[in-house]
Amino acid sequence: MAVSTVLEAGPQAASCEFERPKPFNLFIFGATGDLTKRKILPSLYQLNTLSLLPEDFLIVGSGRQKINTEQFRQQMREAVRNAASTSGEGVSGFNEGKWEELAGRLHYMTLEGPGSYSGMLAQCAPLEERYKTCRNRIFYLAVPPSAFGDVIKNLGEAGAATEVFPDDAGEKKGYSHIVVEKPFGRDLESARKLNGILRGYFKEEQIYRMDHFLAKETVQNILMFRFSNSIFEPVWNNHYIDHVQITAAETLGIEHRGGYYEESGVLRDMFQNHMLHLLTLTAMEPPSVFSTGRVRGERTKVLRSIKPLDPNGMDEFLALGQYGKGRMDGDVPAYRNEPDVSPKSTTATYAALKLEVENWRWRGVPFYLRSGKRLASRRGEISIHFKPVPHTIFREYTGDKIEPNTLTLCIQPDEKLDLFLQAKQPGSRICLGPVRLDYIYLKGIATADYARILLDCMQGDQMLFASAEEVEASWELLTPVIKKTESIGLKDFFPNYEAGSNGPALADALLAKDGRAWDPL
């Protein structure tokens, strides 16, 4: 039986709270949409509840829906109440007083065409004066990916990218940041085109390409854990590590996103951003200094070091799946029977991918990535599987095999670190067994991932956002494979795993031929 040791945060935890940002005006495009209601407004409410917003700020929602500010506030109030009732965004309970504080800063403006962007900025000028936002502006694109280009162009033509020039002291008086949600393009060509549109109006230091996965506490802690502890970094290489597994398993289906998912699929939705970001943080070299440019540069180097994927030999590194019907707290329909999904869809809802990083540190260490919907459990983790001891002196008692050490960085549903060691079990006989040491994040310290992302953008910190080079490098790796999978006939091949299972048998075979197995879900 494993022994668990729970390590709580030390006394320094109280001093690790976020600092309040400077005053700002947050523009939300697509303000009446699902993303705003489920993520953005509940996160802003949480930040306000935790007193992490400045005293002076303004939030301007915009969209095509013709409603007034009071109607917008009422919609957002219901959205925040729903989030509070489910604790989906780290919001614990609903406080009417805290909501009124936030609601008083909410305004709404209807956009009716490209020319209305200039009018919106002009209408906001008196509000910015009233709320003393110091001309600090954040433009958040909570719109469908197909609308990114048009919104960026309209903002650029309206002069929204122009920042206030420095004063005599050399300090910038006002910034303009633009936040673009994933997916950032559909392939390498479209990503380059979108980067070109952005850079046509905004400077790279103004652009925040968002992946909320990077804001999760355990993900952020990867670098701290690796580079602050001398007992780990010396063994973080191919001399001691056998392989790495990265998992993002979901019990949910596509929910209400059938139209989007049909155009995306699991490789675009999860691998181009979340999964590859987790890989780069795990495999990157230590930067000379902990700065945004250096860290992003090292992440990009990892992507450039991954062995190119040959689309003509996909059986060697890729397994795809699509869920069929099954039982998960009741009957669950097959993907092809979900709303807005083609009954003959060949869109993959599951993928397992084997990648190799070809550099001195990782040569010969495979990275196995898997992500899918309607799986047996919700699990997000990175597990480092160390090599077995070279010679066991306990063969007489344990046989030839002692389970190697494993380090697991759990991202969801619980954020924690698990280290599995071997130790003698109590008793008169010599019996080895696993001992688990774990660090569990205390509830109440961490903010929701979207809240952290918003706060970083307010503070001008791009560490958790992808650079143009990272985005293009990831698409360069995956685009040939995506195009190949979309060109082959999978109509009769799918579905190939039941909802509520561990995924398709092909994924197990991918590791089995290497003599390995997936961690249990």
Ramachandran region, residue 67 (left: φ > 0; alpha: ψ -120 to 50; beta: rest): beta
Residue entry with tokens 């909501």: 99
Give the whole-angstrom CA distance, residue 139 versus residue 24. Answer: 11
Give the whole-angstrom CA distance, residue 457 versus residue 463. Answer: 10
β 241-249/379-386 pair status: antiparallel
For residue 126, say if its preceding peptide bond is cis, omega within 30 degrees of 0: no
Q: In this structure, which amino acid lies at residue 166?
A: P
| Contact present, 250 and 270 (Cβ < 8 Å) | no
Give the whole-angstrom CA distance, residue 445 versus residue 11. Answer: 13
Cα–Cα nearest to 116, from 44, 60, 71: 60
Residues 6+ apart with CB under 8 A from 514: 243, 354, 366
CA trace torsion 179, 217, 451, 98 (10° rounding): -170
CB atoms within 10 A of CB 490: 16
Q: Is 212 a catalytic residue?
A: no
Q: Which two tokens stand for residue 110?
A: 């209807």
| Contact present, 458 and 139 (Cβ < 8 Å) | no
Backbone angles phi, psi at 514, to 5 degrees: -95, 5
Interior CA angle at 415 toward 505 and 285, to 5°? 80
Give the whole-angstrom CA distance, residue 313 versus residue 248. Answer: 25
Catalytic residue among 107, 212, 243, 274: 274
CB atoms within 10 A of CB 174: 18
Q: End-to-end alpha-carbon separation of the chain, Å?
A: 19
Residues 6+ apart with CB under 8 A from 469: 296, 300
**Residue 233 per-residue DSSP state:** G
Q: Measuring CA to CA, how many Å separate 197 from each of 81, 113, 390, 397?
A: 37, 19, 55, 66
3-state helix, strand, coil in the chain (%, to 5): 40, 20, 40
The catalytic residue positions are: 274
